[in-house]
Amino acid sequence: MSRLSINSMTVRSWGVRELVDGCARAGIEAVGLWREPVAEAGLASAAKLVRDAGLRVSSLCRGGFFGADPGLVDNRRAIDEAAELGAPCLVLVVGGLPEGSKDLRGARQRVADAIAELGPYAGERGVQLAVEPLHPMFCADRAVVSTLGQALELATALPADQAGVVVDTYHVWWDPQVEAAIAASAGRIASYQICDWVTPLPADVLLGRGIPGDGHIDFPPLTAAVVAAGYTGDIEVEIFNEQVWAADPATVIATIAARYQELFADA
């Protein structure tokens, strides 16, 4: 249980204070934070709440969305926030195609350029950029980085203290190359996020993520590959799901903790 982290989006009705209290009560040692609830709590207050409770911040979500305008000012601000929160990494959801554009290759190049631009700034502040491949169904509108192999190529253009990759089971489980790509990511895994792929997909495919064990993903081989690649960080549960959001957050955390012990005992 010492590596389990609860991402704030999983218990979305909770602010930072309730998240920190709820996790501390449940014996969970780490939290993943999103910028919006951190801003609501106030950055310094959020950092203090986590610190005072003796918790770690496993990641800050999120930077990225490098569109026609890469938004470097806001991305630098996100890096600053991650540094102040003591988050080891800032998760980058890189953005889809700009409005009206079909130039996927160009969009991918702009992502590489933006990451190269931000890397030194992040590294100087002790924050690793965590390039997250999103499931290919989000390629047009949320992230033109679609596979772990592609994310790794982007990350390895920079030194390891500046950029790594996110392995999120939901986004990569289908990939015939996933185990090879995880192995190739040794020393570059910034974050391991877990949630399940449930079918049928809901009307809004953004909200189809399930609690591990509720869907189709076989977690142990993925976790074993991540462990074999030398990842020793937190294992973060990030779930977007209307039913999970409607449930009592403490119950959700208890369910997740039970599933974690069942499915991630090897970690």
| Cβ 203 to a copy of itself shortest distance, Å | 4
- In angstroms, how far is CA 153 from the centroid of its own chain? 18
| Other Cβ atoms closer than 10 A to 147 | 19
On whether the CB atoms of residues 58 and 31 are closer than 8 A, the answer is: yes
> Could you tell me the smallest distance in angstroms from the CB atom of residue 168 to a copy of itself?
14
Rank residues 50 and 225 by Cβ distance to a copy of itself and give the closer one: 225
98 belongs to the binding site for a copy of itself (CB under 8 A): no
Choosing from 45, 174, 183, 187, the residue that interacts with a copy of itself (CB under 8 A) is 174
- What's CA 89's distance to the chain center, in Å? 9
148: CB partners within 8 A, 6+ apart? 133, 165, 167, 172, 175, 177, 178, 181, 182, 185
Based on the shown chain and the rule CB under 8 A, indicate whether residue 104 belongs to the binding site for a copy of itself: yes
Q: Which of residues 191-250 bind a copy of itself (CB under 8 A)?
A: 197, 199-201, 203, 205, 215-218, 221
Residue 99 makes contact with a copy of itself by CB under 8 A? no
Q: Label each residue of 81-149 as H, E or C.
A: HHHHHCCCEEEEECECCCCCCCCHHHHHHHHHHHHHHHHHHHHHCCCEEEECCCCHHHCCCCECCCCHH
Within a 13 Å sphere around the CA of 59, how many CA atoms are in the beta-carbon half? 36
β-sheet bridge partners, residue 237: 6, 194
Looking up tokens 């953004």 gives 206
> How near is the Cβ of 104 to a copy of itself at its closest, in Å?
6
Any contact of residue 113 with a copy of itself (CB under 8 A)?
no
**Residue 265 in contact with a copy of itself, rule: CB under 8 A:** no
Q: Which range touches a copy of itself (CB under 8 A), out of 51-59, 117-125, 173-181, 237-245?
A: 173-181
d(CA 186, CA 194): 18
Q: Which stretch binds a copy of itself (CB under 8 A): 103-111, 122-130, 186-194, 251-259?
A: 103-111
Position among 69, 141, 242, 248 found at the interface with a copy of itself (CB under 8 A): 141
Selected binder of a copy of itself within 173, 192, 240, 260 (CB under 8 A): 173
One residue of 72, 83, 140, 207 binding a copy of itself per CB under 8 A: 140
Residues that bind a copy of itself (CB under 8 A): 97, 102-105, 108, 135-137, 139-141, 146-147, 149-150, 173-177, 197, 199-201, 203, 205, 215-218, 221
